[in-house]
Homo-oligomer: A and B are copies of this chain.
């Protein structure tokens, strides 16, 4: 499944990128394929490994913040793999150009 993750510490200040950088380091070290977007991080894998990773990320941010919003969107489709790149490639084929 492909999962879009965003984690938002509330009440810590306006700039949250130091916290998000810690999250990216945890994801990067996990070996789970990912893509960073302007609004979150997309992950690909099975339910258990992906959700265990998200739990670790959420708890890391929750250590330093009184309140944390975490948004998880899952797109699970039978018989499909390599979708992090494949979904964008399929759109590029249909639109007929490389997309930004």
Partner-B contacts on A (CB < 8 A): 2, 4, 6, 8, 10-18, 20-21, 24-25, 28, 33-40, 42, 44, 47, 51, 55, 58-59, 62, 66-78, 83-85, 87-88, 90-91, 94-95, 99-100
User: Judging by beta carbons under 8 Å apart, are A10 and B17 in contact?
Assistant: no
Nearest-Cβ distance from residue A42 to partner chain B, whole angstroms: 4
Is A91 within 8 A of B42, CB to CB? no
Contact, CB under 8 Å: A36 / B76: no
Contact of A69 among B18, B67, B74 (CB under 8 A): B74
Beyond the given pairs A11-B11, A69-B74, 17 more chain A to chain B contacts, judged by CB atoms under 8 angstroms and listed by A's residue number, are A4-B38, A8-B8, A8-B69, A11-B15, A14-B66, A17-B87, A17-B91, A21-B94, A28-B95, A28-B99, A37-B39, A38-B42, A38-B44, A58-B74, A58-B76, A67-B78, A70-B72
